[in-house]
Amino acid sequence: MRAMKNEFDVQYQNLLSEILSHGFEEKNLRTGHVCKSLPGQTMRFDLEKGFPLLALRKIPLKVFIAEQAWFLMGNKNLRFLQAFTKIWDDFAEENNCVESAYGYRWRKHFGRDQIGGLIKLLQKDPTSRHGVILMWDPSDDGLADGIQKKNVPCPYTFTVQIIGGKLHLHLVIRSNDMMLGNPHDVAGFALLAHILAEKLNVGVGVLTVSISNAHIYDIHFEQAKEIISRGIEHAPIKFQCPKNAFVRAEEGDEKLVEEIFSQLRENYAPQESLGKMSIVL
């Protein structure tokens, strides 16, 4: 019987290969970098069969775990997150805040608590198809001529539905750096799906990630080739969401971050690092 493989590694390796082989090579005017890009790509994971975590190279686990807790807190101040990672520091504005922080937009920015409303909606009507969450503010984001903002949301919307007694999350990303952003985004929103499912007392289902522009920057071409050349060795990664994770995240429980980190680390044996990879801002 053939051993099961980590499904994220399989899909990720295939998508990198497609981009390098068939991607459109163009210079991005905003960044000045050459990219290879493909439109309209989709990744799909049955979360019951394994947590989608990249094992073809090591990724920092605490970053996406702490980030999701920070999102659910609804904060735009970076203080909580900075105890674990400096990943958002480049986007900090006045008073150590990120005005476009996803969690702030989920919970406060639009004059309503979208996440709180989602929980109430699906508790009342598990068959509802109205569970849509937005991070994109059409009054302020995008369509700008010459105006440079520190951060415009890349994952910009997701839907949550309960079908067949399981929670399914569909994430849409307008622009995805496949070498740095994608593994982080997929793992983060998989964790969010687990946390929401635990709160709603349902099983976890399918995570679908739709990417409008999947790209690899020129400075990462060789590292992408190295990933493609590696054999897929890792088995599916087990994960069980801690009890009361939703409320604990809302309250900024740092022990929750450590608890999730410890569980994933036990089941995670990634291949060697690719070395430093620079972020293109």
Neighbours of 280 (CB within 10 A): 19
Give how far the C-alpha of residue 199 lies from the chain's centroid of Cα atoms, to the nearest Å.
Answer: 19
Four-CA torsion 125, 202, 184, 238, nearest 10 degrees: -170
Q: Is 241 a catalytic residue?
A: no
* List 35, 97, 154, 241, catalytic entry: 154
What's the rounded Cα separation, in Å, for the pair 207 and 50? 11
Say which residues have a Cβ less than 8 Å from residue 252's Cβ, sequence separation at least 6. Answer: 69, 73, 80
Token pair of 247 as six digits: 């409320």
Token pair of 216 as six digits: 């690899």
Looking at beta carbons, which pairs linking 75-84 to residues 24 or more positions away fall under 8 Å? 75/101, 75/103, 75/104, 76/101, 76/103, 76/104, 80/252, 80/254, 83/254, 84/257
What's the rounded Cα separation, in Å, for the pair 276 and 227? 14
Question: Nearest-CA neighbor of 201 among 166, 174, 229?
Answer: 166
Question: Nearest-CA neighbor of 48 among 233, 227, 237?
Answer: 237
What's the rounded Cα separation, in Å, for the pair 150 and 92? 8
What's the rounded Cα separation, in Å, for the pair 204 and 184? 19
What's the rounded Cα separation, in Å, for the pair 219 and 176? 15
Residues tagged active-site: 154
